[in-house]
Amino acid sequence: MKSTGIVRNLDSLGRVTLPIELRRKLHMDIREPVEIFVDGDKIILKKYEPADIFTGSQEDLIEYQGKMISRETVKRLAQLAGITE
C-alpha cells in the first residue's frame, strides 16, 4: 500500500472528503458508489464495480431482484436445475 501523504479529519457525522486529485486519478464522479473493506486496522475504499454475486465476474451482467448475475451463471444454474441441456 502506498501512502499519499494526505490526512483528512472526520466530520461530526463520520464523513471524510476524498481530495479532488484522488477522485480525478480514479476517474470518480460525484455520487459515484464506493465499496468499503476492513483489513485488520485498515479501512480500504475502492471504486465500486458491480459483479456477479456468485462468481465475482464483471462480464455480461444482468440485474435480478437488486442483485447482479452474469448470463453465464444463469445458464449454469438452469443446467443445474435441469431446465436446459
- Model confidence pLDDT, tens digit, residues 44-79: 998 888 899 999 999 999 999 989 999 999 999 999
The C-alpha atoms of residue 65 and residue 67 are separated, in whole angstroms, by 6
Sign of CA pseudo-dihedral 61, 62, 67, 73 = negative
- Model confidence pLDDT, tens digit, residues 26-50: 889 888 899 899 999 999 998 888 8
Cβ–Cβ under 8 Å, residues 56 and 50: no
Sign of CA pseudo-dihedral 51, 56, 58, 61 = negative
| Residue with cell string 451482467 | 61
